[in-house]
A and B are shown apart, each in its own frame.
Chain A
Amino acid sequence: NAGVMQNPRHLVRRRGQEARLRCSPMKGHSHVYWYRQLPEEGLKFMVYLQKENIIDESGMPKERFSAEFPKEGPSILRIQQVVRGDSAAYFCASSPRRTEETQYFGPGTRLLVL
Chain B
Amino acid sequence: AQKITQTQPGMFVQEKEAVTLDCTYDTSDPSYGLFWYKQPSSGEMIFLIYQGSYDQQNATEGRYSLNFQKARKSANLVISASQLGDSAMYFCAMREVSRGGYQKVTFGTGTKLQVIP
Contacts and interface: CB of A to CB of B under 8 A. Distances in A.
Asked whether A and B interact, the reply is: yes
Interface of A: 31, 33, 35, 41-45, 48, 55-56, 89, 91, 93, 95, 98-105, 107-108, 110
B91 interface: yes
21 contacts: A42-B109, A44-B107, A45-B104, A45-B106, A48-B102, A48-B104, A55-B102, A56-B102, A56-B104, A91-B45, A93-B105, A100-B103, A101-B33, A101-B52, A101-B95, A102-B47, A104-B47, A105-B44, A105-B47, A108-B43, A108-B45
A3 B87 CA distance: 24
A42 B107 contact: yes
A99 B107 contact: no
Contact of A56 (B52, B100, B106, B109): B100
Which of B44, B95, B108 is the most central at the interface, judged by chain A CB atoms within 10 Å of its CB? B44
Given A42-B91, A42-B110, A55-B100, A102 B50 contact: yes
B95 A98 contact: no
B108 A101 contact: no
A98 B105 contact: no
Contact of A99 (B91, B102, B105): B102
B109 A101 contact: no
Contacts of B98: 56
A102 B91 CA distance: 15
B21 to A, nearest CB: 13
Contacts of B52: 101
